[in-house]
Amino acid sequence: MGRYLLDTLTILWWLKNSKKLGKKSIKTTSNPDNEVYVSAVNLWEICIKKKIGKLKAPDNLVSICEEKGFLPLPITLTDGEELYRPPFLHKDPFDRMLVVQAQNNHLAIITNDEHIPKYNIITIQASQ
C-alpha cells in the first residue's frame, strides 16, 4: 500500500480526464490499496484561480474528490508552523505547503512540477 498526495495540476488533469496524466499515475491513483490524498491547499488554490479567471473548474470539487475515492488532507497548525523549514527552492506558496504536508504525513507527491522533486520527498511524475 502506498500513500500519495496529488498536486493541484494533477487534480485538474483528473477532472478533465486529460491525456497528460500518465498510465503509471492513473494506475497508482486508481489502486484501491493506495491512500490518495487531496489537500485543502489544492482546493484553496483552485478556488482562488477560478475566482480570478485563471482556470475553469467545477463547483463541486469536494464531492468529485470523494467520488474518486480521494481522502481529504486538512492543513494543521503544525503544517503552518513548519512552512519555514524547507529551503526556498519554490516561490509558489501552495506547492510549498504541499511539500510540508507530504513531509509531515509521509506521503509521496504525484506532480509534474519541476521544483517539487528538489525537496527531500518522494515524487512521481504525473505524466508517466
Domain locations along the chain: 3-125
Predicted TM-score of the model (pTM): 0.93
CATH 3.40.50.1010 fits 3-125, yes or no: yes
Find out whether 71 and 37 touch, Cβ atoms under 8 Å.
Answer: yes
Percent composition of the chain: helix, strand, coil (DSSP 3-state, to 5): 45, 15, 40
What 3-state class would DSSP assign to 107? coil
Would you give the DSSP letter of residue 74? P
Strand boundaries in the chain, DSSP class E: 3-6, 35-39, 71-73, 108-111, 123-125
Residue 89: the pLDDT is: 81
Residue 33: the pLDDT is: 95
Chunked into runs of 10 residues, the chain (128 residues) has average pLDDT values of 95 91 93 97 95 92 93 96 83 92 97 92 94
The one-letter code for the residue type at 73 is L
